[in-house]
Structure 1
Amino acid sequence: MILIFQCSIVSAQKTDSLKWWNPAENSFSAIEGQAWTNEAHETYGRLPLRAEKIVRKQVWDLSRNSTGLVIRFKTKAQQITVAYKVKEGLAMPHFSATGVSGVDMYSVNKNGGWNWVPGKYSFTYVGTNKNTITYQYNIIGDNGIYKNGREYRLYLPIYNTVEWLKIGVPENTTLNPMPARIDKPIAIYGTSITQGACVSRPGMAWTSIVGRKLNQPVINLGFSGNGTLDEEIIELMTEIDAKVYVLDCLANLMDRTKFPLEEVKRRLIESVNMIHAKRPMVPIILPAFGAFNEHRLDKDRGTAIDEINETLKQAYTILKASGIVNVYILPAGEMQMGMDDTVDGNHATDLGMINYATAFEKIFRTVLEEPSGNITTTMPCTQYREDAIYNWEERHTELVKMNASNPPKTVLLGSSDVHYWGGQPTSVISRGSDSWNQFIEPLGVRNFGFAGDRIENILWRVEHGELDGYKADKVILMVGGYNLPINNDDEVLKGIKSLIQTIFIKQPQTSILLVGLLPQRSQENRISNLNKKITEIANNYKIQYADPGKLLLNKNEKIDETLFIDGIYPDTEGYSLLAKFLKAELH
């Protein structure tokens, strides 16, 4: 008899009516969270195969757990089935089967927000299909909004090794794999808490939460009970071209017999020095051990944690005195771990993981100078509102690669009106290519316009590589028009300020040309008043301002309908006027 553990009843959809995709057989890397994709590795492992001969056996075995790995794909299917098999036990006494061995699915909506997708699951404990697991997801209510399908992200098991995995959708639908992103990842070396103990499901690990909050790839090198700042792991970490490094290992260095405080200090200092020697410009974060709080009665444990956190401060002081500037401490108090935040006094509950993630997001944004405000125009995010016309992420990736191989002299940041003008990267729609080629292209301007972008989407692009690795002479901003239907004037203005500040962080040497909002039908008075305030912003930041939109108005201060295709976007003649104006301004 086969015993099935099933807290949610799986629907009766027959698996033989599905068509299946195996990520392991994909033509490109579709598994995100692996740092060594260009060399031999286990399909769902976290270290390269050569590491088996380098690291301790316990570390190698744990590296085969798939924590932190994410599979991305798009589909319009309303039913998605995930079937897979794992190698170890499905659950632990303090750690549920859905946390140890389950998968977890999220979706990115068209405005860059997140939706969780609840799934019905079955776990087979014994018999010929032992350790085989199935999740079924039903998506209802999209009503054709997503022409090319929603984007989904599937988080893989935290504390188990995946033998095989496949994703099925109905025969009459398609599934389109998405490649692992090229963004520099956050690389985290840590303990069982980093690995994900003891969440209810994989998406609730603090590393997963932070990955969503920053929309950033994460390399999870958490090894339960074995995050001890081993030299071999640190050496491997230096091979990762990371955006930031985290060494969160104090919880596994508490045994004073094995790790006297002086040894802990030595390992901290040597680990930072090794990374800094190879990656001198990359920030390194050293978190304190934050699992203890004053309301617990095991005071001896609290004293031991205080001692190791004090040792961390001593190591930090020595490192700073040696001239390493970009090393940072995350204090235990920032994690705000309360009585209810752990399962057993050490391992975090979902609530504890949220507190961890909040603290790490804060220090990441501070260290990386990527702030997020409290209104939509200052909260960086992606989008795919125009997905039926172009692929937003692919254009971003193309632009980052193009900038690396051929850096632009001048950057023109904008939304649909810029995207559909002309230039490189090319677009399927080009309403002003002749004027672009004649007046704009010779000035070395590259088109950083993305159709459908609001200020917050441009802010995300600036923070995620589009202004990295080169020095632009000038950045032109034509932004804000796409925000008008949903944001008030104050929100638009705050968004523009935030964008200017971020551009100067990324390109401190550049000069900025801030272009006023172009007029739109029935919005002429509002835009005129907004542009007066945008002029003040330019004056306050001591940057150049221009208002070419006046050329698109008639004598009654309304838009000249002969210069627009729809009352919002210029036609060929409208673009010609804008191109001549910008050429004069740039000269």
Structure 2
Amino acid sequence: MGASSSFQTIMPLPIPSPLSKALLVLLGTISGALPLLAESPAPDNNAMTSGPAPAGKPWEPAWGFWPDYPADWQRTHWGFVEKTKAGGWDVLFLGDSITKNWMQQGRPVWDAHYEPLHALDIGIGGDTTRQTLWRIEHGALNGAQPKVIVLMIGVNNVNARAATAEEIAKGISEILAQIEARLPQSKILLLSVLPVGNPSLNPEVQKVNALLPKLEGGKVRFLDLTSLFATPDGKLILENYKPDQLHLLEPGYVAIDKALYPVLLEMLKNS
């Protein structure tokens, strides 16, 4: 696939030996200022849930934050970590709210086609490439041995207007590299960013999608869904969309399914 890491992976601190713990306790007793180190850090960090992550590039990991529900993004992530660790999943769907909503508007299609394939949906609403990278670094794939990962990400990067198409594509490339490093036996089905109703944003969506085929190769396969959601002159097929012209109604998931399901079956068959 050729994607390469462009950031330093955050490594956990080593667990102190019994001797070093004893020395720390002794020093803490003498100074009255040094606390005893915990066996392992708690998964939910107040520094993360108390506010948004610092600004950064699409390939730089960042936790998510929902202002109205400050701790809930973290709870959602760690809940998915526990589900993934349980194992038994042949397919993982990873992405933002369009992926998450397979469990809502797309549920009838999911139950008919993807539930029988032992698929797990771990999409989180509002995520960009940065949150996806943070989640991968913090256990999202731990314990998983999926045959295929279905990835759709990037529309929230476009919506944020904080990065170029090339930078967003680099963030997606970094996600692919991190997945491949952790799950070298898994195949990845990369889906295009879907067109949106905002005419000022769609040219950027098109630029991102034009770059994604370059990421195909090895265990990565790219599937362009654009023609299912927009006419050749760029007009949205509105029956697929909610009134916000961003999220999908059930017909939108039916449209994705028609393209996705046969490709996924082929990838699973050859795994």
Deviation for aligned residue 1:58: 5.7
Asked which structure has the greater CA Rg, the reply is: 1
Q: Where does residue 421 of structure 1 map in the other structure?
A: 102
Q: Which residue of 2 aligns with 1:445?
A: 119
TM-score of the aligned structures, taking structure 1 as reference length: 0.37
Runs of 5+ consecutive residues of structure 1 not aligned to the other structure: 1-32, 36-45, 75-105, 115-374, 423-429
| Identity percentage of aligned residues | 22
Give, in angstroms, the shift of residue 448 of structure 1. 1.8
Structure 2 letter corresponding to 1:517: V
CA, structure 1 residues 525+381, in 2 after alignment: closer, same or farther (shift >3 Å)? closer
Would the alpha carbon gap of residues 472 and 552 (structure 1) be closer, same or farther in structure 2, given more than 3 Å must change?
same
1:389-418 CA distance string (max 9 Å, x none): 982211221222112223311111101111
Task: Please tell me whether the aligned partners of residues 516 and 531 of structure 1 are also in contact (alpha carbons under 8 angstroms).
Answer: yes
Mapping of residues 37-186 of structure 1, within 5 Å: 60-62=25-27, 65-66=34-35, 110-113=51-54
Distance 1:55 1:389 in 2: 36
Q: Which residue matches 1:562?
A: 239
- How far off its partner does 1:439 sit? 2.0
8 Å contact kept, 1:386–1:452:
no
Tell me what 1:465 maps to.
Answer: 139
Aligned length: 240
Equivalent positions of 1:183-582 (< 5 A) are: 376-385=57-66, 388=69, 391-422=72-103, 430-485=104-159, 486-521=162-197, 522=199, 523-539=201-217, 543-554=220-231, 556-565=233-242, 566-582=244-260
- TM-score, normalised by the number of residues in structure 2: 0.77
Alpha-carbon contact 2:80-2:140 (below 8 Å) kept: yes
Letter in 2 for 1:506: R
1:440, distance to aligned residue in structure 2 (A): 2.0
8 Å contact 2:86–2:143 — kept in the other structure? no
- State the AA in 1 paired with 2:136: V
User: How far did 1:73 drift?
Assistant: 7.7
Question: In structure 2, what is the Cα distance between the partners aligned to 1:451 and 1:574?
Answer: 17
| Range with bigger deviation, 518-527 or 58-67 | 58-67
Structure having greater relative contact order (Cα 8 Å, sep ≥ 6): 2
Deviations for 1:73-109, whole angstroms, at most 9, x for unmatched residues?
A: 87xxxxxxxxxxxxxxxxxxxxxxxxxxxxxxx5655
Q: Which runs of 5+ in 2 are unaligned?
A: 1-12, 266-271
Aligned-pair RMSD on alpha carbons?
Answer: 3.1
Contact 2:53/2:63 (CA < 8 Å) preserved in 1?
Answer: yes
1:19-65 C-alpha deviation (Å, 9 max, x unpaired) = xxxxxxxxxxxxxx9x8xxxxxxxxxx99xxx7xx999765433663
Contact 1:439 1:580 in 2 (8 A): no
C-alpha change, 1:387 and 1:432, in structure 2 (3 Å) is farther
Q: Which amino acid aligns with 1:508?
A: P
State the alpha-carbon separation in 2 of the partners of residues 514 and 444 from structure 1: 19
SS of 2:139's equivalent?
A: helix
How far did 1:544 drift?
Answer: 1.0
More helix by share: 2
**Relative to structure 2, which stretch is displaced further, 476-485 or 556-565?**
556-565
> CA separation in 2, counterparts of 1:563 and 1:56?
59
